[in-house]
Amino acid sequence: MLQPKYNRPSKLLLLLETRALVELGASFPARQLLKDLPRGDGHPVLVFPGFLANDLSTRVLRRFLRDLGYVPERWTLGANRGYSEELDHRMQQRLRDVYEKHGRKVSIIGWSLGGVYAREVARALPEYVRQVITMGSPFGGAATSTNVTWIYDLVCDEKTADIDPRLLERLGEAPPVPSTAIFTRSDGVVAWQACREPHPGAFNESVEVKGTHCGLGFNPLVFHVIADRLVQPQEAWRPFLATGWRAALFPEADNVQKGSETPWTKATATLDDAISRLDLLLANKVPEGS
């Protein structure tokens, strides 16, 4: 079965990616609040950057992981310039190296295209992987469901139109390890629908956060989800449960239990509705009579 083709995000959402600067600024004072999150057990966490990014882009995230008591590991493979068989071999070897260095299973966090890689590496070497967490990773949609397809085709040897359909089909299948897909509906780079698990189950899930694609690597809400996921016991992983105040912050988590409406949820709902209507207007898709 072919991957579903979702509409790429609108130009409005792409423009609103500039909000990532606000999220970056918020990540620093939020570090004091995040210190109350559960401490880690010291296991290694390998972090993969997004398309055209390198280890510098994940520095804030890795510092957060270290503060929580984990051992963050860089991917060390330079700029992420798109998939190749050589890169696949190097990523698998990097995972083996981290596993052998620490003698423990490795959690992998991947941002955007890096998350697609993380799932595939975990699929190839599940015996080395504790869990996978993706952030805005379009593993569940066609290669054209993004605003950066033309850049990918420009800088990569293999064009998106030439990618093996069997590979694209496999991307939507959950890896054989616990996995969490973090996504945002206001993603201006990739279609948010492609960043969710199409068939959530006992060991794979989706959690929505408020924010931008470019800000996922330093979004305090993302940090909260990551901290909750990494602290899960290795042999007793459970899906993210959004109850009480979490239901307001994470309204579209697979295991959300709706709570009472708050001024915060009213405000965010109003903003989301305004953005959605502007999207429709720009796309000339406003329903008649609305």
Residue range(s) defining the domain that contains residue 203: 11-243
Q: Is residue 249 part of a domain?
A: no
Q: Is residue 110 part of a domain?
A: yes
Through-space distance between the first and last CA atoms of the chain, rounded to whole angstroms: 36
Contact 232, 205 (CB under 8 A): no
Q: Is residue 59 part of a domain?
A: yes
What's the whole-model pTM score? 0.84
Rounded CA gap, 157 and 82, in Å?
Answer: 9
Weakly modelled stretches of the chain, pLDDT under 50: 257-265, 286-290
Rounded CA gap, 134 and 80, in Å?
Answer: 16
Q: Is residue 194 part of a domain?
A: yes
Q: Which CATH number characterizes residue 92's domain?
A: 3.40.50.1820
**Count: domains in the chain:** 1
Q: Is residue 276 part of a domain?
A: no
Q: What is the pLDDT of residue 260?
A: 38
Q: Is residue 248 part of a domain?
A: no
Q: Is residue 147 part of a domain?
A: yes
Q: Is residue 73 part of a domain?
A: yes
CA distances from residue 230 to 7, 36, 59, 171 in whole angstroms, order as listed: 32, 15, 18, 23
